[in-house]
Amino acid sequence: MKKETKIVTSPFAYASPWILATAIGMLIAIVFFFAVNNLQREKRILTESLFNKGQAIVRFIGAGTRASMMMGGANPQQFQHLIEQAAGESSILYIAVADSTGKIMAHSTPALVGANLDHPLLIDPELTPLGKYQIISDPKTKQKVFEIVAPFKPFMRGRGRFFKQHMQAMQQPGRATPPVGKGPGDGPPCQSFPGQEAWLPGENLSIVVGLDMAEQDKIIQQDRYHMLYMSIAMLLVAIGGWIALLTAQSYRSSQKTLMNMRAFTDLLISRLPVGIIATNAEGHIQTFNSTAARFTGKTPAQTVGHPQATVLPEIEQLIPSGEHAGEVIDREIFLPPDSPTPNHLRVTSVPITDTQGNTIGRVVLMYDVTEIKKLEAQVRRHDRLVALGKMAAGVAHEVRNPLSSIKGFATLLGSRFPAESEEGEAARLLINEVERLNRSITELLTYARPLPLSMAEVEIEPFIEASLKLIQSDARELGVAVHHEVAQRRKQMRLDKDRLNQVLLNLYLNSLQAMEHGGQLEVSVREGDLPGTVEITVRDTGSGIAADILERVMDPYFTTKPEGTGLGLAMVYKIIDEHGGTIKIASKEGQGTTVSIILPG
């Protein structure tokens, strides 16, 4: 019986311990190699990410330089301001632009401009257009710095010389510099200044970008612990699987791991800021994350498992079928379609195929580009202002002088006929029309002419009270109640008193014209949402502005008033922009209008 018992005992009872030790050693070696390889790959990915980020910063500064030169506002001060703005992100330690001798032309720390930068990569003959990087340690803070050095050439080959010749031609005596509009990043017209040749594109300049590696080191440290834990877990699972010979316990462990991975994937997809909708071959929705729910106004419970054509007909054109099922679709849409303020989305629809190339489903990715479109609209507005400024200069010369001659001849012609005659009446009509055209030209020149601001410290509350006194009699006649409130700690702010008073008076008059049958006009001053800013709000209970024209009310010469010139709100926008502030208008037809002015303190 004892002999029979030995026969049926597991063969692992007779296995040599050296075989088990060898197998475990091999497993440890494999796991260690896997962990080290993954850690190295993670470091390489993080390094590439930092290098790409540095290149993106270099491209951003190059694009800003090009934009400044194209708009005629290129000068060292503008370039230094661009460098300081680009270095505002917390992960950017410093940005410097130096020539081949090491002289710093611009630096995120203004005090270092003009100093010498002793950097070996500035004279490296192998420095490629993409640049090089190195990891150094700050001797003062012992902080690791990821440093990218690249040639600074904002323009393609030959373009820098073209812009240099163009700017030098503009600086020749007697050559008029075209006016430019005021906008974010705009400066005065290009003038001759010392050292201009040293920083124009086309020279031997290099840019140095230093990035903080603290976050990357933290990620790598976390990855080390993660790799350690994962390695131990993998080792234990491997040993258990080898000993148990893929028993049922190993099978259940695999199922659990699979479920965890699926849960992690579902969580990751649900938290992404990109809307994701996935369908199967039959068009039934399988994945619908929270961002897609926010864009469409539908919940996952209403969509998952249902045919897409039934629950989301507004995206039916993005999921083609038949012979077009394999197409990639990229377009812009508005969702939800019935919302008064829909999201402006860029949508990409990509087919999912198996190894044989058969379409087994589709993924729709939604990106919110609403803010990008608003920025594009602001850029277009500034372009219009620049064009208007150029036009005004021509109008002043080409139209005003002939108008003076026409008025003189009309006056002479009218003096030769009796005042009550038809000829005399025609002469007076001609003179009145000439004067009206002359007033329009004067308003246009006043709007387009760049006037310097007279900045001074102004007491806020007395300033608001004085501006409201200008409309007291008109408000009393219309039955409009006027209230004001100053709810901020600071008593003064720096501004051009006359120009801002012009802004407020224009807004007050617009509000009174919208409240012909009475109402309320409220003016409030408070701390802005951003530190160091002041927000002035003018709110009325008037007729409001229709939604289809709200975005156009600040365009030059756009007006809904029979006697209006369309330059009132355009002048308001220009003055606020010259102060470095922003203006927002919110209105609903029949419910009043709110204008918010945010000014730097």
What is the mean pLDDT of each successive set of 10 residues along the chain, which is 601 residues long? Answer: 40 52 74 79 85 87 80 73 84 86 85 82 71 81 84 61 48 44 39 42 75 83 78 71 61 78 74 83 86 85 85 80 77 78 84 83 87 80 70 68 78 78 81 78 67 85 90 90 86 88 90 90 90 90 86 74 70 85 88 91 70
Residues 63 and 201 in one domain: yes
354 and 406 co-located in one domain:
no
Query: For 408-462, what is the HEC assignment?
Result: HHHHHHHHCCCCCCHHHHHHHHHHHHHHHHHHHHHHHHHHHCCCCCCCEEEEHHH
Closest alpha carbon to 595 in 554, 539, 529, 549: 539
Do 277 and 180 belong together in one domain?
no
Residues 54, 192: one domain?
yes
Question: Could you give the C-alpha distances from 448 to 435, 567, 593, in angstroms and in order?
Answer: 20, 10, 27
Residue 14 located in a structural domain: no
| Judgement on whether residues 167 and 105 belong to the same structural domain of the protein | yes
d(CA 77, CA 95): 15
Same domain, 315 and 345: yes
Torsions phi, psi of 275, nearest 5?
Answer: -70, 130
Which pLDDT score, from 0 to 100, does residue 483 have? 92
**390: exposed, middle or buried (C-beta count within 10 Å: 0-12, 13-18, 19+)?**
middle
> Cα separation of 36 and 424, whole Å?
100
Whether residue 207 is found in the same domain as residue 61 = yes
Euclidean distance between CA atoms 333 and 277, whole angstroms: 15
pTM of the predicted model as reported, rounded to 2 decimal places: 0.40
Amino acid 5: pLDDT: 39
Q: What is the pLDDT of residue 342?
A: 80
pLDDT score at 165: 52
Whether 240 is in a domain gets the answer no
Residue 595 lies in a domain: yes
| Residues in Cβ contact with 297 at an 8 Å cutoff, skipping those fewer than 6 apart | 335, 336, 339
Is residue 487 within 8 Å of 525, Cβ to Cβ?
yes
pLDDT at 448: 64
Query: How many whole angstroms separate alpha carbon 343 and alpha carbon 373?
Result: 11
Are 65 and 203 members of one domain? yes
User: 103 and 179 share a domain?
Assistant: yes
**What CATH code is carried by the domain that includes residue 65?**
3.30.450.20
Which of 368, 394, 423 is the endpoint of a domain? 368
**170 shares its domain with 203:** yes
Q: Which residues make beta-bridge pairs with 594?
A: 539, 586
Q: What's the domain range around 335?
A: 271-368
Contact 287, 276 (CB under 8 A): yes
Q: Is residue 196 located within the same domain as residue 285?
A: no
Quick check: is 385 in a domain? yes
CA distances from 372 to 330, 344, 379 (A): 17, 9, 11
CATH (domain of 543)? 3.30.565.10
Domain count, the chain: 4
**599 alpha-carbon distance from chain centroid:** 19
Residue 252 lies inside a defined structural domain of this protein: no
One DSSP character per residue, 546-567 reads -TTTGGGTTSTT--SSTT--S-
Residue 292 lies in a domain: yes
Q: Are residues 398 and 320 in the same domain?
A: no
- Cα 503 to Cα 595: distance, rounded to the nearest angstrom: 11
What confidence score (pLDDT) does residue 244 get?
A: 62
User: Is residue 4 situated within a structural domain?
Assistant: no
Q: Determine, yes or no, domain membership for 239.
A: no
CB 359 within 8 A of CB 326: yes
**437 — alpha (psi -120 to 50), left (phi > 0) or beta?**
alpha
Q: Which of 213, 230, 252 is the C-terminal boundary of a domain? A: 213
Instruction: Give me the pLDDT at residue 155, please.
Output: 64
- Report the C-alpha gap between 73 and 190 in whole angstroms: 6
